[in-house]
Amino acid sequence: DVLPTVIGAVLGILALQQLVTRPASGEGGWSRRAFLQTAGAVGGTALVSAAVSRVAAGSTTDVVASRAAVRLPTPVETVTVPAGTQLPVKGITPFTTKNADFYRVDTALTLPRLRAEDWQLKIHGMVDKELTLTYADLLKLPLVERATTITCVSNEVGGKLAGNAVWLGYPLSDLLKQVSPAGDADMVLSTSVDGMTISTPLANLTAGRDALLAIAMNGEPLPVEHGFPARLVVPGLYGYVSATKWVTDLKVTRFDRDEAYWTPRGYDAKAPIKLASRVDVPASFAKLTAGKNAVAGVAWAQTTGIAKVQVRVDGGPWHDARLADVPGKNTWVQWVYEWDATPGNHTVSARAIDLDGNEQVEPRARIRPNGTTGLDSTSVLVS
């Protein structure tokens, strides 16, 4: 069962070493993650794909059976998604992302195959007491639901590398209390079963942040591609510093003592998700009829919340859009603006403003080192 992971890790490292020196996506080069997704789809290389498929086939059956046998406990806290979260606008991104449609970005060219009954999580490092947790132990804990949108740092302006789900898991703040981190610890270095490392500020895992050791999304055990048996979900941070899938190790440490995989490759060790909005409707180069037309999309300001979304046409004045309901501050929100369109070619843009009064940054910035900025827009023809 180890061979596919080893092959995937080696190929991933070789590919990433080449890609990390290339231009960021949008500057004439492929994004490293887009390359990995493509490479993963074809099995890495033709030379090893046959061996990988032979070894992975047997283990896949075991993992599928293990996942199917999981009986999720009733959460002690549930999420109620308000009826008004979904606007009646054709083409808008659904408030809840189906598991099958959820974006996948990772360095695993071959998915790790770990059965729930074999899974363990070790918590150690700068702690008073080490802890080892099994999946059976985890199922006995008081689990909670949290609605959280997660985003990849590789998400371009207007990109689709974001998704929203209701996650089931155990609060990481409660888990960390059991080990009593040292007062000068400031980071948790998490490691997946295939050796991928991610560094997360300890402060983002403490009380009030809703960070989870998650075992389910949208009412079912985590899909294998999204981290089964367990993963981390941390509101407000890009995935490369928070969203460890197939997690098996948490080391409480300091940023000046340890670093994760992406840090020496040009990415910030700490990377809060930036205030963002996206135009889903109308699609680029759509042909519209003059009169009332819906301009709609989603926006997010995690751990803060969206105060308003505004729309402008052809660089004109900003107009407030109508916001849908949300279950909390850690999800995206749908928005819609009724535009009285006039004939001609037009460019429609959107910006978000959070509850602290911060406006979405308009100037464009590249993805590296901590995520892109800029306003999404769409060009249409009205007749």
- Which CATH number does the domain housing residue 375 bear? 2.60.40.650
pLDDT (mean) for 242-262: 98
Q: How far apart are CA 325 and CA 81, in angstroms?
A: 9
End-to-end CA distance of the chain: 60
For residue 107, how many other CB atoms are within 10 A of its CB?
22
State which of 239, 265, 291 marks the end of a domain: 265
Q: Please state, for a pLDDT cut of 90, what percent of the chain lies above it.
A: 82
Least confident of 32-46, 142-156, 284-298, 318-332: 32-46
- Which pTM value belongs to this model? 0.86
pLDDT in tens, 342-352: 999 999 999 99
Answer whether residue 188 is part of any domain: yes
- pLDDT for 227 equals 98
Answer whether residue 270 is part of any domain: no
Q: CA triplet 319, 321, 326: central angle to 5 degrees?
A: 150
Q: Specify whether 201 is located in the same domain as 293.
A: no
State which of 216, 237, 265 marks the end of a domain: 265
Answer whether residue 271 is part of any domain: no
Q: How confident is the model at residue 254 (pLDDT cuts 50, 70, 90)?
A: very high
Q: How far apart are CA 335 and CA 86, in angstroms?
A: 9
Answer whether residue 302 is part of any domain: yes
Q: CA triplet 258, 262, 268: central angle to 5 degrees?
A: 80
Q: Specify whether 234 is located in the same domain as 129.
A: yes
pLDDT in tens, 93-112: 999 999 999 999 998 888 99
Total domains in the chain come to 2
Match 């997704």 to its residue by tokens.
37
Q: How confident is the model at residue 3 (pLDDT cuts 50, 70, 90)?
A: very low
Q: CA triplet 255, 256, 262: central angle to 5 degrees?
A: 55
Domain that holds residue 376: 276-382
pLDDT value at 272 more than 70: yes
